[in-house]
């Protein structure tokens, strides 16, 4: 394919004459596996030039570096196969190729978008999304000088990872302003405050965030802290998730809400037609308790530790399937490594207009329940009540 060959040649040329600025790959094909776009820049590591690829997925970013000799093969793996548009930016011109549905390439030359090259230093400090703001010291994550308290280092990591995921999810969801976000089981509000500060003060977005928490002392503390920080559109309500009555929810969040409180929160998301449901389930007791005393002939249940993990997986898989029945596309992934916390699974539902074959989804739920002796998942019980 001449256009693609020419693209690589122009890349080589811009690298050789030091006019290379960057490459962007966009318009993902159906084979892109959730990869939204790729940005490629030149950096220097140990005095050697290296092409740094940032792969933007819906929920996270991954960075991989390639030497000049490796970059060609990686581009050939991506362009046309995973992306329909590739644009090379140099100081002399921009060169783009676009592929039609049938794979026909069109090349377009543009005047250069850039008259300066970006810095090539690899040592640009990675910007933390949770700025070391006052709220972090009021919540006890940092000391008064803004240094992270050692025993809170994992929490700080978790907060930043969580913001990275939400940033990516919000980028790929169409929401009208102001965005109404409800955080159910907000606890001491670490993640609620961080999200507010990030979206309002860093991203300059118009959001209203409400934390729902049953414990009065935490609600009072969080409201006082929000006032001290001047976070005007962040409020906390003392209530149970089950009794919470607001219908305006664009984004529903429930992080480590205990046991079936996660199901109650998901259900509130369904009722409010939330565009995004983000939860990190916790202490999966319901199915395990329901199964007590029932003989289940399954070697996976022989050892206690695996039995527990199986029930966690079944609980969350059935949750995801029920979400699909409510027209959400779902993803389950680890959002922070095991070394920080075992409660590291995130379940995300993104409302979709695409048709989901509900009969097939129900068949999957039924066969899972049968195989693992599950009578009824709590989320089914509460959703069935409203039918
Ligand atoms: C483990 S903490 C998690 C706090 C916060 N989401 C986080 O991830 O840092 C769970 C919180 O959910 C609250 N909670 C549990 N069940 C609830 C319910 N049904 N209604 C309201 N709050 C609930 C608890 O009081 C607790 O503060």
More confident residue, 128 or 276: 276
User: Which segment of 82-86, 117-121, 363-367 scores lowest on mean pLDDT?
Assistant: 117-121
Give the pLDDT confidence score for residue 301 in this predicted structure: 79
191 lines ligand 1 (CB under 6 A): yes
Among 159, 212, 213, 281, say which to mutate for ligand 1: greatest number of ligand atoms within 8 Å of CB: 213
Q: Which CATH architecture has domain 134-385?
A: 3-Layer(aba) Sandwich (3.40)
Distance 72 CA to ligand 1 centre (A): 50
pLDDT band of residue 124 (cuts 50, 70, 90) is very low
Distance from Cα 343 to the centre of ligand 1, integer Å: 14
Q: Which residues contact 40 (CB under 8 A, 6 or more apart)?
A: 22, 23, 24, 25, 51, 52, 53, 54, 71
Q: What is the pTM of this model?
A: 0.71
Rounded Cα–Cα distance for residues 225 and 234 (Å): 10
pLDDT top residue among 100 and 341: 100
How far apart are alpha carbons 199 and 178 in whole angstroms?
11
State residue 208's pLDDT score: 97
The rounded Å distance from CA 269 to ligand 1 centre is 16
* Ligand 1: centre distance to CA 263 (Å): 13
Query: Can you tell me the distance from the alpha carbon of 301 to that of 189, in angstroms, rounded to the nearest whole number?
Result: 37
- How far apart CA 351 and CA 270 sit, in angstroms, is 10
- What's the Rg (C-alpha) of the chain? 24
User: What spacing in Å lies between the alpha carbon of 256 and ligand 1's midpoint?
Assistant: 7
b/e per residue 288-316 (b: at least 16 CB within 10 A): bebbeeeeeeeeebeeeeebeebbbbbbb
254-311, pLDDT tens digit by residue?
A: 999 888 899 999 999 999 999 999 999 887 777 777 777 777 777 887 887 888 888 8
> Which helix or strand (DSSP H or E) is residue 209 part of?
strand 207-213
Mean pLDDT of 51-61: 83
Ligand 1, residues 135, 158, 166, 214: which to mutate, most atoms within 8 A of Cβ? 214
Strands 48-57 and 61-66: antiparallel
Residue range(s) of every CATH 3.40.50.150 domain in the chain: 134-385
pLDDT for 309 equals: 86
190 close to 155: Cβ distance less than 8 angstroms:
yes
Cβ–Cβ under 8 Å, residues 40 and 24: yes
- How many Cβ atoms are within 10 Å of 328's Cβ, its own excluded? 23
CA of 324 to the centre of ligand 1 (A): 25
Sheet arrangement for strand 83-90: 61-66, 48-57, 35-45, 20-28, 83-90, 94-99, 105-110
Which atom of ligand 1 is nearest to 253's Cα?
6
Report the nearest-CA residue for atom 20 of ligand 1.
240
Higher pLDDT, 185 or 305: 185
Percent of the chain with pLDDT over 70: 94
């Amino acid at each position: 394919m001449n256009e693609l060959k020419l693209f690589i040649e122009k890349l080589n040329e811009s690298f050789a004459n030091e006019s290379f600025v960057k490459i962007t790959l966009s318009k993902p094909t159906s084979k892109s596996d959730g990869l939204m776009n790729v940005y490629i820049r030149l950096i220097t590591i140990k005095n050697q030039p290296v092409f740094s690829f940032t792969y933007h997925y819906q929920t996270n970013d991954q960075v991989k570096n390639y030497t000049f000799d490796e970059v060609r093969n990686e581009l050939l793996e991506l362009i046309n196969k995973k992306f329909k548009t590739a644009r090379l930016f140099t100081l002399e011109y921009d060169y783009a190729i676009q592929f039609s549905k049938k794979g026909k390439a069109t090349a377009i030359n543009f005047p250069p978008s850039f008259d300066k090259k970006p810095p090539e230093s690899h040592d640009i400090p990675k910007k933390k999304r949770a700025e070391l703001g006052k709220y972090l010291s009021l919540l006890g994550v940092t000391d008064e000088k803004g240094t992270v308290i050692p025993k809170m280092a994992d929490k700080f990591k978790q907060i930043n990872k969580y913001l990275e995921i939400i940033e990516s999810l919000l980028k790929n969801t169409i929401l009208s302003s102001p965005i109404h976000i409800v955080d159910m089981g907000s606890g001491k509000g670490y993640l609620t405050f961080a999200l507010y500060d990030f979206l309002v003060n860093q991203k300059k977005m118009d959001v209203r965030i409400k934390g729902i928490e049953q414990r009065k002392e935490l609600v009072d503390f969080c409201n006082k802290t929000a006032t001290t920080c001047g976070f005007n559109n962040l409020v906390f309500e003392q209530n149970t998730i089950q009794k919470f009555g607001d219908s305006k929810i664009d984004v529903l969040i429930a992080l480590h809400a205990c046991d079936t409180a996660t199901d109650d929160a998901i259900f509130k998301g369904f009722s409010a037609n939330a565009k995004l449901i983000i939860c990190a389930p916790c202490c999966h007791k319901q199915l395990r308790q329901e199964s007590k005393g029932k003989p289940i002939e399954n070697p996976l249940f022989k050892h206690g530790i695996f039995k527990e993990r199986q029930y966690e997986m079944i609980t969350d898989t059935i949750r995801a399937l029920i979400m699909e029945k409510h027209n959400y596309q779902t993803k389950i992934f680890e959002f922070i490594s095991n070394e920080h916390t075992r409660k590291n699974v995130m379940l995300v539902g993104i409302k979709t207009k695409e048709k989901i074959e509900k009969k097939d989804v129900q068949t999957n739920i039924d066969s899972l329940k049968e195989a693992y002796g599950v009578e009824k998942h709590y989320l089914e019980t509460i959703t069935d009540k409203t039918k």
